[in-house]
């Protein structure tokens, strides 16, 4: 039933997203996970402890997080399997683990804001990236939005969908717990180098297949978007993905850069410190709002292919 659950969840989230009244009333599961991670961080992450002890505590915190998220999801999924039509309820619940509609909206808002002014563009992009917005010119804002779209296409859409297909609701929930932990404590800072080690490594593992699958989907999406180049996307992905410090993040970013003839990546500022990161692609680096919209067109085509593959899977299983 997993493929049916995944297909319906993907369709529901794409059409309706996560309802704002529901968000206002109870928040979002990822927010709940984040609060638990913050509590575990406060309780377990003691800077005065030696490196090994902090690493062990980080492993324990991750295990507790996965139990807190996974056990209820598993029990709910098992209970729903005993109810006629329960898989539909499971799909509704699983749709909260996907972010295709919100991601598109957030990135599109950057393009719209950039049309209005650079300052508005900086404010909009600050909501989706962690780099210092005041250092960004128009091209920098556009690149930041497109880079966020590429990376989030994997960890916000394809990865939870992949684990939903494989393991149903528990798979998607556990993935989001791991990914949220990595985003919050999986950093190489002094505070989290040891404590967040397990979260970062597990996130690398669960994203290994989805990141490469996202890159492949972006290559295929080129056949549906006028002016996009599948050959360049494939070649750039294979040549440039490995430049990224992450074993996974470079795959969708390099594929998108090659597909649309962009140069992405390069130096960026975080907390006043400039980080010299690699570049992906050899095309234009001076991007603008319309280039964000081109990237969104490719993203939409990728979503169409993902949905089509899910529907095909349902037909085969049926």
pLDDT in tens, 210-243: 999 999 999 999 999 999 999 999 999 999 999 9
- Angle at Cα 149 formed by Cα 117 and Cα 248, nearest 5°? 145
Q: Cα(310)–Cα(166) distance, rounded to whole angstroms?
A: 12
pLDDT at 270: 75
pLDDT at 8 over 80: yes
Q: Cα(224)–Cα(232) distance, rounded to whole angstroms?
A: 15
Average predicted confidence (pLDDT) for the chain: 95
Burial of 20 (0-12, 13-18, 19+ CB in 10 A): exposed
pLDDT at 131: 81
Residue with token string 């009244």: 21
Beta strand 279-280 pairing with 264-265 = antiparallel
Output the CA torsion 97→100→106→109 (10° steps): -160
Q: What is the mean predicted confidence (pLDDT) over 16-37?
A: 95
DSSP state of 94: H
CB atoms within 10 A of CB 194: 20
Cβ-Cβ contacts under 8 Å for 159 (sequence gap 6 or more): 175, 179, 206, 207, 210, 211, 214
pLDDT tier for residue 245 given thresholds of 50, 70 and 90: confident
Domain encompassing residue 179? 2-317
pLDDT tier for residue 130 given thresholds of 50, 70 and 90: confident
pLDDT tier for residue 134 given thresholds of 50, 70 and 90: confident
Output the CA torsion 8→10→14→20 (10° steps): 80
Q: What is the largest CA-CA distance in the chain?
A: 57
Phi–psi pair at 279, nearest 5 degrees: -105, 155
193: Cα within 13 Å, side-chain hemisphere:
8
Q: Cα(241)–Cα(3) distance, rounded to whole angstroms?
A: 29
State the total domains in the chain. 1
**Both tokens of residue 173?**
């929930």
Q: Cα(308)–Cα(103) distance, rounded to whole angstroms?
A: 20
């Amino acid at each position: 039933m997993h493929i049916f659950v995944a297909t319906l969840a993907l369709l529901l989230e794409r059409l309706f997203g996560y309802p704002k009244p529901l968000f206002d009333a109870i928040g979002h599961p990822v927010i709940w996970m984040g609060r638990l991670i913050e509590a575990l961080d406060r309780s377990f992450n003691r800077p005065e402890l030696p490196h090994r002890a902090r690493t062990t505590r980080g492993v324990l915190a991750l295990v507790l997080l996965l139990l807190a998220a996974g056990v209820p999801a598993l029990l709910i999924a098992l209970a729903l399997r005993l109810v006629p039509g329960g898989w539909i309820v499971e799909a509704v619940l699983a749709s909260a683990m996907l972010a295709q509609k919100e991601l598109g909206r957030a990135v599109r808002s950057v393009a719209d804001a950039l049309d209005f002014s650079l300052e508005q563009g900086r404010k909009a992009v600050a909501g989706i990236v962690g780099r210092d917005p005041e250092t960004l010119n128009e091209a920098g804002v556009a690149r930041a939005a497109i880079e966020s779209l590429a990376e989030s296409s994997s960890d916000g859409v394809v990865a939870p969908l992949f684990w939903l297909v494989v393991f149903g609701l528990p798979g998607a929930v556990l993935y989001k717990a791991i990914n949220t932990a990595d985003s919050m404590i999986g950093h190489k800072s002094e505070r989290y180098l040891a404590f967040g080690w397990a979260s970062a490594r597990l996130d690398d593992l669960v994203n290994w297949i989805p990141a490469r699958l996202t890159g492949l989907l972006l290559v295929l999406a080129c056949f549906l978007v006028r002016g996009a180049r599948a050959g360049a996307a494939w070649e750039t992905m294979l040549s440039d993905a490995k430049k990224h410090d992450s074993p996974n993040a470079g795959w969708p970013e390099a594929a998108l850069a090659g597909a649309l003839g962009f140069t992405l990546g390069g130096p960026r500022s975080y907390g006043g410190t400039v980080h010299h990161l690699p570049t992906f692609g050899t095309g234009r680096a001076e991007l603008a709002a319309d280039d964000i919209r081109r990237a969104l067109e490719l993203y939409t085509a990728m979503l169409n292919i993902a949905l089509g593959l899910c529907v095909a899977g349902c037909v085969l299983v049926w």
